[in-house]
Amino acid sequence: MQSISHYVTMARQAALALLSACLCAAYAQSPSANDPCLDGLQDRVACEREREATQRQAPTDPSQQFGQNALRRCEVHINNPEARQACEDRVRGQNTRTEGSVLGGGIFQEQRTTVIEPARTLQ
């Protein structure tokens, strides 16, 4: 047989679960609490337009071969093997430093290639 304290604990847990469900439902129905476009801090029309734009799915490549497509673009350097190799290295991110952000105005990539000249002979 279980004690009364066990039933009291179960009743408290049920009451807490019911209270949280009610609070969640009330919060979900409150438009200003969930909608940043109604906070009065920004233009509502522009905010809604941006929200719609972010909810649209970005276009995808049906073949899902983004890397191969990017490398294929390096084929334009067919007559210059050094330029083609540099292009492929950029696509793969080799010897590349990336900084910045889209929100900050752009992503900048820098690639440095060290070229060692042959030793000169003294005459």
Would you list the domain boundaries of the chain? 4-54
Assign 29 a pLDDT band (cuts: 50, 70, 90). Answer: low
Report yes or no on whether pTM surpasses 0.75: no
Identify the top-confidence range among 12-26, 76-90, 109-123: 76-90
CA–CA–CA angle 70, 109, 102 (5° rounding): 90
Distances in Å between the Cα of 59 and the Cα atoms of 32, 56, 64, 106 are 32, 9, 11, 20
To the nearest whole number, what is the mean pLDDT of the chain?
77
Phi and psi at residue 5, in whole multiples of 5°? -60, -30
Percentage with pLDDT > 70 across the chain: 67
pLDDT of 7 above 80: no
Only one residue has tokens 């990017």, namely 70
- Kindly report, residue by residue over 53-98, the tens digit of the pLDDT: 888 876 666 666 888 888 999 999 999 999 999 899 888 888 888 8
To 5 degrees, how large is the angle CA 66–CA 69–CA 73? Answer: 140
| DSSP states along 32-64 | HHH-GGGSSSS-HHHHHHHHHHHHSPPP--TT-
- State residue 83's pLDDT score: 92
Q: Which of 15-24, 60-69, 108-117 has the lowest mean pLDDT?
A: 15-24
Pair 74, 99: CB distance under 8 Å = no
Residue 110 · residue 96 · CB < 8 Å: yes
Q: Which residue has the higher pLDDT, 23 or 63?
A: 63
* Mean pLDDT (whole number) for 12-25: 60
